[in-house]
Amino acid sequence: MTHRQHQEAADQTTPAQQGVQADARPNARKVFMRTYGCQMNVYDSERMNDVLGTEGFSATDSMEDADLVILNTCHIREKASEKVYSELGRIRKIKEERALAGKDMMVGVAGCVAQAEGDEISRRAPVVDLVFGPQSYHRLPELLAKASGGAKVVETEFDIDAKFEHLSERAARPVLKRPPAAFLTVQEGCDKFCTFCVVPYTRGAEVSRSVEQIVTEAKQMAASGVREITLLGQNVNAWHGLGANGETWGLGRLLRRLAEIDGLDRLRYTTSHPRDMADDLIEAHRDLAELMPYLHLPVQSGSDRILAAMNRKHTRDEYFRLVDRIREAAPDIALSCDFIVGFPGETDQDFQDTMDLIRRVEYGSAFSFKYSQRPGTPGATMSDQVPEDVKSARLLELQELIANQQTAFNASRQGMTCNVLIERKGRHAGQVVGKSPWLQPVAIDGSEDLIGTIQAVEITRIAANSLFGRLIAGHHDLIGSTADGHQGGGI
């Protein structure tokens, strides 16, 4: 995995795995969806595809063919919204070309840029017919109808309960086949107000779905072929849901419940805040074979001064102690992290504290970013902004260290046998690709029939961003709680 790969699942088209089927109906209206940013956006795009599928849309990978183009945007760093505007410039040309051929094209901007910028988007890019925030996608049919009447539609209400309600209603109905590894949003929004971050403003306050809603959706997913679920939330380990008897559950208890669902062999969750790693959640890593030995636990900085300025509300020592407790519970866990370099006021010493933290923790992978000023956040108006060239130099140094740790971590898998959930065809004929328990892609020689199964694989070769392995003869689809046992033996 590259440093940025999993969080920056970014800039991908979301074709037809799900509700929307590619070219299933040749005369159907076609939708082209591009997803930027985090996995929550990937999940939202999939749910938008579900909604559009029931409206008779089929998916296309070619924007030129599309009757509807949706950009599902991310606002976390400034470049992301600039990318959206430049993409809209390109779309304008395609829309004009289609108009010459007598064909219509509707253009929608969804996600956090839509939420943050609202009607500014259609002012700046008149090609846009429809602007809607992350909490409105279930109302897409209604919004599309309005927009096709010629109105410019801007819908940025926060009505997260309605969205969750809708998700749960859908989950109760049968769905088309889902991929072997899929996302499930359990929580949205954030109350932490880190001083660099727009999420509390774009996604709003923290809201959790109920145990029942989540369990229903997870069962439905398992019945549709999903073997691995990643629970999603901007602050996922702050999730707390109401159980049937009025008790409040934490994420650890939820994971235990989900592990009982037949056919669901692997669980993951992301993204976590160090302050919300409850004992019960750490114990779930010790006790649950289904819970994969991988944890994304952003610290952002290794300097106490900067952590305080970021409003992270913990110290570096508290983070070290937390990591020790997690590793005690799950010794082979792969840790991943986010770092920001060049937060306002960051000195060379502060930066060296971050480098020291990385050396001490030893990560399997990490994402790292230059601080960018996000309008409306406290950080944007802090004095002592760090010059761009200093940020660039620090980022380079940090990424080199992380790259070395990632290489070392990957190399430590050489010769190991582990379980791999096979997810898709590989780049070469006769090759399939899956994920190791530590979220590394593993390429294997094998037939497509293996997709959706969990196989014992010996890791034979390590490349920069992925592993290569070979099937261990005689092992076929390892099912159940022993399949991914991560307390030594099984892996």
Please enumerate, by residue number, every residue annotated as part of a binding site for [4Fe-4S] cluster.
38, 74, 112, 190, 194, 197
Residue from the set 300, 406, 440, 466 that interacts with ligand 5AD by CB under 6 A? 300
Nearest distance from C-beta of residue 231 to ligand SF4, angstroms: 15
- DSSP designation for 64: G
Query: Please, which residues have CB within 8 angstroms of residue 400's CB and are 6 or more apart in sequence?
Result: none
Residues annotated as binding site? 38, 74, 112, 190, 194, 197
Residue 128 in contact with ligand 5AD, rule: CB under 6 A: no
- Helix then strand then coil, % of the chain, to nearest 5: 40, 20, 40
Based on CB atoms, which residue is closest to ligand SF4, 81 or 455? Answer: 81
Nearest distance from C-beta of residue 388 to ligand 5AD, angstroms: 13
d(CA 22, CA 53): 10
Residue 298 in contact with ligand 5AD, rule: CB under 6 A: yes
d(CA 92, CA 95): 5
Nearest distance from C-beta of residue 271 to ligand 5AD, angstroms: 7
273 interacts with, out of ligand 5AD, ligand SF4, none, CB within 5 to 8 A per kind: ligand SF4
374 interacts with, out of ligand SF4, ligand 5AD, none, CB within 5 to 8 A per kind: ligand 5AD
Based on CB atoms, which residue is closest to ligand 5AD, 145 or 205? Answer: 205
Nearest distance from C-beta of residue 1 to ligand SF4, angstroms: 21
Based on CB atoms, which residue is closest to ligand SF4, 55 or 276? Answer: 276
d(CA 341, CA 391): 6
SS (H, E, C) 396-427: HHHHHHHHHHHHHHHHCCCCCEEEEEEEEECC
Size of the residue set binding ligand 5AD (CB under 6 A): 13
Nearest distance from C-beta of residue 309 to ligand SF4, angstroms: 13
Nearest residue to 422 (alpha-carbon basis) of 446, 454, 400: 454
HSE-CB of 169 using CA atoms within 13 angstroms: 8
Based on CB atoms, which residue is closest to ligand 5AD, 252 or 298? Answer: 298
73-105 burial by CB neighbour count: b if 16+ within 10 A, else e? bbbbbeebbebbeebbeebbebbeebeeeeeeb
Based on CB atoms, which residue is closest to ligand SF4, 222 or 395? Answer: 395
Binding mask 334-353 for ligand 5AD (x = CB under 6 A): ----x-x-------------
Nearest distance from C-beta of residue 364 to ligand 5AD, angstroms: 17
Residue from the set 77, 95, 435, 486 that interacts with ligand 5AD by CB under 6 A? 77
Q: Please list the residues that pair with 153 across neighbouring strands.
A: 130
76 interacts with, out of ligand SF4, ligand 5AD, none, CB within 5 to 8 A per kind: ligand 5AD
Based on CB atoms, which residue is closest to ligand SF4, 235 or 436? Answer: 235
Cα–Cα distances (Å) from 170 to 49, 138, 188, 239, in that order, read: 12, 10, 18, 21
Nearest distance from C-beta of residue 146 to ligand SF4, angstroms: 32
Q: Given phi > 0 = left and psi -120 to 50 = alpha, else beta, which region is 459?
A: beta
Q: What is the three-class DSSP state of 274?
A: helix
Stretch that binds ligand 5AD, among 60-68, 95-103, 146-154, 366-374 (CB under 6 A): 366-374
Nearest distance from C-beta of residue 349 to ligand SF4, angstroms: 23
Based on CB atoms, which residue is closest to ligand 5AD, 198 or 421? Answer: 198
Residue 273 in contact with ligand 5AD, rule: CB under 6 A: no
**Binders of ligand 5AD in range 152-211 (CB under 6 A):** 196-197
Cα–Cα distances (Å) from 162 to 23, 36, 137, 353, in that order, read: 31, 24, 11, 44
Stretch that binds ligand 5AD, among 114-122, 367-375, 413-421, 440-448 (CB under 6 A): 367-375
CB 419 within 8 Å of CB 483: yes
d(CA 120, CA 112): 13
Residue 363 in contact with ligand 5AD, rule: CB under 6 A: no
Q: Give burial (CB, 10 Å; 0-12/13-18/19+) of 32.
A: buried
Q: What is the DSSP string of 158-202?
A: --HHHHHHHHHHHHHS------SEEEEE-EE--S---TT--HHHH
413 interacts with, out of ligand SF4, ligand 5AD, none, CB within 5 to 8 A per kind: none
Nearest distance from C-beta of residue 445 to ligand SF4, angstroms: 40
200 interacts with, out of ligand 5AD, ligand SF4, none, CB within 5 to 8 A per kind: ligand SF4
- Give first-to-last CA distance, the chain, whole Å: 19
Residue 372 in contact with ligand 5AD, rule: CB under 6 A: yes
In this structure, what token pair is assigned to residue 227?
């073997």
d(CA 337, CA 365): 7
235 interacts with, out of ligand SF4, ligand 5AD, none, CB within 5 to 8 A per kind: ligand SF4
d(CA 15, CA 143): 22
HSE-CB of 197 using CA atoms within 13 angstroms: 20
| Residues binding ligand SF4 (CB under 6 A) | 190, 192-194, 197, 199-200, 234-235, 273
Nearest distance from C-beta of residue 377 to ligand SF4, angstroms: 9
Interacting residues with ligand 5AD (CB under 6 A): 7, 76-77, 196-197, 298, 300, 338, 340, 369, 371-372, 374
